[in-house]
Structure 1
Amino acid sequence: MTVATRFAPSPTGYLHVGGARTALYSWLYTKNKGGKFVLRIEDTDIERSTQEAIDAILEGMQWLGLDWDDGPYYQTKRFDRYKELIQQLLDEGKAYKCFMPAAELDKIREEQMAKGEKPRYPGMWRDRTDHPEGQPFVIRFKNPLEGKVVINDHIRGTIEIANSELDDLIIQRSDGTPTYNFCVVVDDWDMGITHVVRGEDHINNTPRQINILEALGAPVPEYAHVSMILGDDGKKLSKRHGAVSVMQYRDDGYLPQALLNYLVRLGWSHGDQEIFSREEMIELFNLDAISPSASAFNTDKLIWLNQHYMKSLPASEVAEHLKWHFEQLNVDVNDGPSLEAVIAIQAERVKTLKELAEISQYFYQEYEEFDAGAAKKHLRPVAKEALQLVATKLAAVKEWDPENIQAAINGTAEELGVGMGKVGMPLRVAVTGSGNSPSLDVTLNLLKKQQIAQRIDKALKFIADRENN
């Protein structure tokens, strides 16, 4: 048997964290088994589905690197197939037309709830043939009246549901469109899906879908229902907890490798291991090792992983993602040091790529003004002599490298008989515009001599203006 899994989001919103984890688990299981991963867009909710949401889902999957082998399929393009099989069930007496007005059904359900009963369709049109001419109708599936559905869930073990608990599901609306539960069944059959990994909110749908599959003579896939993700406060993850959309994590400066590593551990584990490369995830992943308990999202843990990957991944890999953040700042990184070189000296100092880009702009463009606090403290008249002398010594450096740059700074301090801070801090503010940067030898090494000279001149002018005012 060739394993086939699918990720089947509804395009009514962005790809969220819970959906991304489900997609990851499906993708990993397929890759582990050498199977096929299918992407299917379940867009039967025509009023709420949007092209914007479809684009966001595809972009999120691509950013995470969850490549699909087949698809994307769109349910709205398969209506003829669904209608063909609905007609087959009608012909075989496994489905029927129901002419009950919605208002009548609502009234019955209200009465059932008032008696403390489970609201359900009572099946009065199940065997009727006195169909009124020209009246609207829905088509319902004839659910078995006896027996039970047994689900051997990979995560939750055996689940049994009596057929007497299930009413006759609508499989085609009065406007002729097929319903979600029927489309899913047909798609899973046609696409050869062997394992369905999805959220626990679908458990109630599963027995209904299994009954329809069996009525069609289709094979029943294996199921794994994943628990929900909770926020840091123990409540269901939502927008109030911060980023929920996958692409918001990209915008906030997280690496996809960090988010994937974090998501895989939200419910699955392999001993005490915390860091997993993509290859390790594929090799070690097992559906049966997923916990049935809900997982709590911990932003601090994600930040820790992001910092780990910024420092440990090949700099060229990090640079691809960092470049995007510079583009958002309208910073051209082509005229300046390599992004790899900037990552090497800045990654230790930040939590996200967004921060890294923000604090590294001075490598690629002139800063507009000095940080007010840093300038007030360090660009004072007393710093003028140190800045003038260090400018001369730096201009005289023949072999531009960190060692010779540091020697010029040290020489300035010695010649003036002052501590290193009296030279280093004014120079740092002059060159970077702020009081924070990596050590000056490596920082200046990534800048051009001419840039440094111009910025020191700018600082000296600032000091002169300050003296005159």
Structure 2
Amino acid sequence: MIITRFAPSPTGLLHIGNLRTAIFNFLATRKEGGKFILRLDDTDSSRSKKEFVDQVKEDLNWIGICWDQEFSQSEHIKRYDSIKKELVEMGRVYECFETPAELDLKRKKLLSMGKPPVYDRASLQLSEKEKEKLRSEKPSYWRFKLNNEVVEWRDSILGNQSINPSSVSDPVIVKAGGQYLYTLASVVDDIDYGVTDIIRGSDHVTNTAVQIQIFKALSKPVPNFGHHSLLIDLDGKALSKRDGSLNLKTLKNSGIEPMAIVSLLVSLGSANAIELYKNFKDIFDTFDLSSLSKAPAKLNISSLNALSQKAVQELSINEVEDYISSIGVPKDLSRNFWDMAKENISTKKDMEELWKICKRDVELDKADPDYEFLQKAFSLLKDLNKEPEPWKLWTEKVKKVSQRKGKDLYLPLRYALTGSTSGPDMNKLLPIMLLNNLQIIE
């Protein structure tokens, strides 16, 4: 059975790039009837917040992603301690004492000599006496010792991969102060929870080589790996998590429909044309990790807005009735209101403004050049509230008595009713206004 996990860090809001990873894992799992785990990478206690944990869950539920199991890494510190001790005894984890400033100086020196900035393993040369002295002076941190074996794997998206660890520094697995980093903690959890497939961004390829060595050092099976391309903007720049408009909470609050987001993210980087899916099940037949492009995928916000608009407009009355009721539309008007509104909205929130129009009264202004025309026109409207096509009948009557036609006829009437020279189909709007007891104030 396939077992995957999505592992966000609750140190901020869920970004659309992170969501893409969640979607790929969820689809790969549900397509095969497997198990999907939500893992909260909260070992950074100073930055991890419950409010972000709650928001991540809310965002995933809104998108339509449900999980079979959930846990937090902060619950497993003793387990990480045990594995670290095991690796220390094997000679694969060692204690280090350099400060960040000292490490930075070493990196700059190597770069100035034209050499790769790889850690020199100086701490391995320290005697126990020297270590004791350093421990009394400053906190230590811990690294995993890479061996010289080239790491190879068959990536489910990128194909055959080969990483030479000689070009990589021994990774820090525990920071000064005791915080476990992703590199070791993630491997331990993947082992303990039987994760079979790890799908994540291509920025983790080097991490994967390191983690494969940790799996092998612990004599555990290595999961299947797949690294999808990263999202970029239309200028080719990597999407920044600092862009607040691209987190799920903001997108939701702006009225973007969840399946519009899902539909766009699964289409980017694939050979399939961008199309709107109704639900996740509709994606199963076409979803294939191996068909994803290796090149970065361009995210076009205009495409997202267009998909969202289409998603809203294709909703049935049953799917929007509760929302329509929440903005005050009476139940007996809801069907007619939705029939009028869906042609004129980009988001559900746009219906609020349309309902305000439906409730507005007409105020005639004597200073208006069209005052006499409007006064006569609205006197002809009073007996049409029960007619099936009041706009058509009304404008025909007004046309006869006023001799106006075209824009001179329709625009003043529309503006008087709606406060705008453009907007919904008046054949659909006027009946709702009349049934809502339209008042003419002179």
The corresponding residue for 1:33 is: 32
1:433 has 2:439 as partner: no
TM-score (norm 2): 0.87
Measure the CA separation in 1 of the matches of 2:240 and 2:356.
34
CA shift at 1:436, angstroms? 3.0
Distance 1:78 1:342, change over 3 A: farther
Measure the CA separation in 2 of the matches of 1:61 and 1:378.
56
Q: Given that residues 126 and 142 in structure 1 are in contact (C-alpha distance below 8 angstroms), is that contact kept between their aligned partners in structure 2?
A: no
The corresponding residue for 2:277 is: 276
CA shift at 1:150, angstroms? 0.7
Distance 1:303 1:179, change over 3 A: closer
CA shift at 1:253, angstroms? 2.4
> Over residues 104-142 of structure 1, what are the superposed CA-to-partner deviations in whole Å (9 max), with x where a residue is unaligned?
444333321221212222123337552415533222222
> 1:139 corresponds to which letter in structure 2?
W
CA shift at 1:353, angstroms? 3.1
Measure the CA separation in 2 of the matches of 1:155 and 1:409.
62
1:383 has 2:374 as partner: yes
SS in 1 for 2:246: coil
TM-score (norm 1): 0.83
Number of matched pairs: 436
Distance 1:238 1:318, change over 3 A: farther
> 1:310 corresponds to which letter in structure 2?
V
> 1:362 corresponds to which letter in structure 2?
I
Measure the CA separation in 2 of the matches of 1:174 and 1:117.
27
> Over residues 404-455 of structure 1, what are the superposed CA-to-partner deviations in whole Å (9 max), with x where a residue is unaligned?
6643553454455554766654443344333334333321222354621x1x
The corresponding residue for 2:146 is: 143
> 1:433 corresponds to which letter in structure 2?
G
Root-mean-square deviation (CA, aligned residues, Å) is: 3.1
Equivalences for 1:23-172 in 2 at 5 Å?
23-71=22-70, 73-126=71-124, 130=128, 131-132=131-132, 134-135=135-136, 136-144=139-147, 146-172=148-174
1:310 has 2:312 as partner: yes
Unaligned runs of 5+ in 2: none
> Over residues 8-60 of structure 1, what are the superposed CA-to-partner deviations in whole Å (9 max), with x where a residue is unaligned?
11223221121111111111111111111111221223333333333332222
> 1:132 corresponds to which letter in structure 2?
E
Distance 1:242 1:108, change over 3 A: closer
SS in 2 for 1:66: coil
Q: Given that residues 244 and 250 in structure 2 are in contact (C-alpha distance below 8 angstroms), is that contact kept between their aligned partners in structure 1?
A: no
1:346 has 2:341 as partner: yes
CA shift at 1:151, angstroms? 2.4
Q: Given that residues 227 and 292 in structure 1 are in contact (C-alpha distance below 8 angstroms), is that contact kept between their aligned partners in structure 2?
A: yes
SS in 2 for 1:126: helix
Equivalences for 1:237-248 in 2 at 5 Å?
237-238=239-240, 243-248=245-250
State which drifts further: 212-221 or 23-32.
212-221
Q: Given that residues 83 and 178 in structure 1 are in contact (C-alpha distance below 8 angstroms), is that contact kept between their aligned partners in structure 2?
A: no
Distance 1:380 1:227, change over 3 A: same
Equivalences for 1:209-220 in 2 at 5 Å?
209-220=211-222
> 2:83 corresponds to which letter in structure 1?
L
State which drifts further: 195-204 or 418-427.
418-427
SS in 2 for 1:283: coil
Unaligned runs of 5+ in 1: 462-469
Equivalences for 1:311-460 in 2 at 5 Å?
311-318=313-320, 331-333=327-329, 337-338=333-334, 340-363=335-358, 365-366=359-360, 380-391=371-382, 393-394=383-384, 397=386, 402-403=388-389, 406-414=392-400, 418-419=404-405, 424-449=410-435, 451-452=437-438, 454=439, 457-458=440-441
Equivalences for 1:229-268 in 2 at 5 Å?
229-238=231-240, 243-268=245-270
